Amino acid sequence: MQAVGNLTNKLFHKQLRTGSLALQVGPYTYSIQSDLPIVAEGIRALYRDFVLVDPQNFIDYKISIRHGGLLQRLRRQTQFYFDGTRPFAPIPIGQAYAFLEWGMNWCVSLHANEYLKLHAAVVSSERGAIIMPGVPGSGKSTLCAALGLRGWRILSDEHAMLIPGTVNVVPLCRPVSLKNESIEVIQQFSAEAILGPTSQKTHKGRVAHMKADLHADSHNASPLPAAWMIFPRFCPNERQQVTLRRRSDSFILAAYHSFNYSLLCESGFESMEKLINSVACFDLVYHDLNWAVHTVNQLVGHPDNE
């Protein structure tokens, strides 16, 4: 099986330009088309270990980032395409890479209803998986990146995809999205972090993505059982602590952080109930990443690496 990194530069650019670059991302196959150098640079850096798929195979999500017309070209804007439609407003070229990643998230957020999808980061060790739901700014992505850099396997930075009626999470490993100061925090946290292009002045501020498939099993597609649910909250002025969270609260909060809890009706309720009854739930307030990683390790009985 060939990975993106095995392609020669010339072949890679040709495939990306013509839309024949197809990647396996968790259970889905994406094909990506773009003529923008910044997109090529980002994919080359962050997806180099992703397995290539024959473009003649079944493609789940066919996406494209390119100019929508002359007016956009003059405005230095570009456009995200999905199924040949333009679901979003035009974007400045400098933000194209961030939008590629967001667009790839969007495909799953909107369409894949075979799973109960929580808006959460998921990491795992041999002791089980941790689901970390969180609103933007809660520090879930930063903590997810840090755990990934300390030997945990990152299953997703965005979607915890639960197979209904089980506690099993389907891996969907893609780059971790870091915003504003988190970019430097992670760079200082580990010299191993590989970052893609930085998008300035997006509606979320400055955004860069980190290569997430750092583990030997990163591209293994088998579902893994969730054992913990941790609600992280980054807060510089509060005492760092980890506390047990009531199951009833956790249920409501996790449902609130779900993309399709209400869409799935009874099946959504039953799956969430099963999950919440099977995992231990905690609140984690932190501002120091080293402390947070150490605390998570202790909580689940995982050795500290490095």
Partner 1 sequence: MSFLLQQALIDPSAATKMHPRQQGALISQARNSRLLASLAVVLKDSGNMETLPEKMRRHLRSALVIHAKQKMDLNYETDRIRSILRSADENLLLLKGGAYIQAELPVGKGRLITDIDILVSRKNIENVERTLKAAGWEGSQIDDYDDHYYRRWGHEIPPLISHRRGTTLDVHHNILPPTAGPNVDACLLLKDAIEIAPGIFTLSWRDMVIHSATHLFHEGEFHHGLRDLWDLDRMLRDFPDRDPHFWNELLERAERLQLQVSLFHGLNYTHKVFGTPLPAGLLREARDRAQNVAKPIVDFLYLRAFRPDHPDSRLLFTGPALFLLYVRSHYLRMPIYLLLPHLTRKLWKRCFQDDSGAPLGLDNKTGKTANQ
In the complex, the residues that contact partner 1 under the rule CB under 8 A are 55-60, 62, 71, 75, 77, 83-85, 87-92, 99, 102-103, 105-106, 109-114, 119, 136, 158, 203-204, 259-260, 262-265
Query: Residue 114 Cβ, how far from partner 1 at the closest point, in Å?
Result: 5
Query: Residue 277 Cβ, how far from partner 1 at the closest point, in Å?
Result: 23
Q: In sequence order, what are the residues at sequence separation of 6 or more whose Cβ sits closer than 8 angstroms to the Cβ of residue 300? A: 125, 127, 128, 130, 227, 228
Q: Residue 109 corresponds to which tokens in the numbers above?
A: 């957020």
Query: Residue 60 Cβ, how far from partner 1 at the closest point, in Å?
Result: 7
Q: Residue 274 corresponds to which tokens in the numbers above?
A: 């099963």
Query: Residue 62 Cβ, how far from partner 1 at the closest point, in Å?
Result: 6
CB 289 within 8 A of CB 146: yes
> Where are the extended beta strands (E) located within the chain?
21-25, 28-34, 52-53, 61-66, 77-82, 91-92, 116-125, 128-133, 153-156, 159-162, 168-170, 176-179, 199-202, 205-210, 224-234, 241-244, 280-286
Exposed (0-12), middle (13-18) or buried (19+): which is 2, by Cβ within 10 Å?
Answer: exposed
The closest of 129, 159, 117, 135 to 271, measured between CA atoms, is 117
Query: Residue 135 Cβ, how far from partner 1 at the closest point, in Å?
Result: 9
Q: Which is nearer to partner 1, 215 or 232 (CB)?
A: 232
Q: Which is nearer to partner 1, 179 or 247 (CB)?
A: 179
Q: Which is nearer to partner 1, 5 or 69 (CB)?
A: 69
Query: Residue 102 Cβ, how far from partner 1 at the closest point, in Å?
Result: 4
Query: Residue 88 Cβ, how far from partner 1 at the closest point, in Å?
Result: 5
CB 299 within 8 A of CB 239: no
Query: Residue 213 Cβ, how far from partner 1 at the closest point, in Å?
Result: 21
- The label of the residue with tokens 């609260």 reads 249
Cα angle vertex 70, ends 67, 74, to 5°?
90
Q: Which is nearer to partner 1, 183 or 293 (CB)?
A: 183
Buried b (16+ CB within 10 A) or exposed e, 177-213: bbbeebbebbeebbeebebbbbbeebeeebbbbbbbb
Q: Residue 278 corresponds to which tokens in the numbers above?
A: 């099977």
CB 202 within 8 A of CB 95: yes
Pseudo-torsion of CA 45, 108, 254, 167, nearest 10°? -90
Q: Which is nearer to partner 1, 150 or 174 (CB)?
A: 174
Q: Which is nearer to partner 1, 257 or 302 (CB)?
A: 257
Q: Which is nearer to partner 1, 86 or 127 (CB)?
A: 86
Q: Which is nearer to partner 1, 106 or 206 (CB)?
A: 106
